[in-house]
């Protein structure tokens, strides 16, 4: 996909951890990260599906991840430039969680058109909403600088809260400290995790899974009620029924549409099969151009 509006001439590029729902009009070009299943590399959403990765995780297969190379980014930048882009805004997951944004920055030095690289300091649809809103600003004729500001502003309003079955995946991948990961076993609690300032932290500790799901929903409600124009998404990996139940509960409480999507396979490889997450962003309190 090459998404350059002839009137705008600013292309928005993001990466596959944005976890866009099927059919979601995001208006971006997406660079896939890599999932390595039992030693074999795959491009997520190109060579392997989120469902397939969930099955591998459930079976106990070794699943690791890697970032795109600068060359992969450069090929996308060159393609959108050929399609008419005069500038590019490249919006990516937190640099504290992956080297993806740094690979994008390296590619930007060789791009045929100027590239503004944005570290969203988040991931999943918290990133996705920021990238999609940036693309919307680009379609409206905003300058590259204004599109960059829009991405940063929406990302700064976002929250990402999630519940996982086990903290082992995060601990092994270095995305969560050993002491924090031990909370789920030593204290017998169900931690709710959040992305804060680009890093994964333990946000709350709840005793049972049912209570943790309730707290996940109530936390999302609290976050959404502080928004002037909220966008909400529920993520899962391997349990769409539960995700739709949570989305339905949120939609009834809030009176807003709630997106439902499988989380990116790369994110899933780090949080594990069975994850349930809620992403919220406020797109009414920030400038559009």
pLDDT digits (tens, 9 = 90+) for 228-253: 999 999 999 888 999 999 999 999 99
Write out the two tokens for 120.
């969203």
pLDDT of 164: 80
Q: Would you kindly state where each structural domain of the chain is located, as residue ranges?
A: 10-156, 159-282
**Cβ(216)–Cβ(246) below 8 Å:** yes
CB-count burial class (<10 Å; 0-12, 13-18, 19+) for 284: exposed
d(CA 87, CA 143): 9
Compute the half-sphere exposure of residue 51: CA atoms within 13 Å on the CB side of its CA.
2
> Which residue positions in the chain have pLDDT lower than 50?
173-175, 177, 179, 181, 183-186, 288-289
pLDDT of 238: 82
**Cβ(66)–Cβ(36) below 8 Å:** yes
Owner of token pair 């070794």: 62
- For residues 214-238, one letter each, b for 16 or more C-beta atoms within 10 angstroms of the residue's C-beta and e for the rest, the string is ebbbebbbebbeebeebbbbbbbbb
Q: What fold does the segment set 159-282 form as a domain?
A: Hypothetical Protein Tm841; Chain: A;domain 3 (3.30.1180)
User: Which pTM was predicted?
Assistant: 0.89
Phi, psi of 6 (to 5 degrees): -55, -30
CATH of region 10-156: 3.40.50.10170
pLDDT of 175: 46
């Amino acid at each position: 996909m090459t998404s350059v509006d002839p009137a705008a001439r600013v292309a928005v590029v993001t990466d596959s951890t944005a976890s866009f729902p099927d059919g979601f009009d995001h208006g971006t070009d997406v660079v896939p990260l890599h999932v390595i299943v039992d030693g074999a590399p795959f491009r997520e959403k190109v060579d392997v599906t989120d469902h397939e990765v969930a099955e591998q995780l459930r079976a106990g297969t070794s699943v690791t991840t890697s970032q795109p190379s600068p060359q992969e980014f450069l090929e996308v930048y060159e393609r959108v430039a050929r399609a008419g882009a005069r500038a590019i805004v490249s919006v990516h997951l937190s640099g504290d969680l992956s080297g993806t944004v740094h690979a994008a920055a390296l590619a930007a030095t060789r791009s045929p058109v100027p590239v503004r690289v944005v570290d969203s300091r988040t991931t999943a649809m918290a990133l996705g909403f920021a990238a999609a809103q940036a693309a919307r600003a680009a379609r409206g004729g905003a300058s590259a600088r204004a599109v960059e500001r829009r991405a940063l502003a929406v990302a700064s309003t976002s929250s990402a809260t999630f519940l996982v079955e086990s903290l082992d995946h995060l601990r092994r991948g270095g995305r969560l400290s050993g002491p924090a990961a031990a909370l789920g076993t030593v204290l017998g609690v169900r931690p709710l995790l959040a992305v804060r300032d680009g890093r994964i932290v333990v946000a709350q500790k709840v005793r049972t899974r049912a209570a943790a799901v309730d707290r996940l929903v109530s936390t999302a409600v609290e976050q959404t009620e502080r928004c002037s124009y909220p966008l909400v998404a529920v993520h899962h990996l391997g349990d769409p029924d539960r995700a739709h139940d949570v989305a339905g509960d949120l939609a009834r409480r809030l009176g807003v549409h709630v997106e439902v999507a499988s989380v990116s396979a790369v994110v899933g490889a780090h949080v594990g099969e069975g994850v349930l997450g809620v992403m919220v962003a406020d797109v009414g309190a920030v400038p559009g151009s």
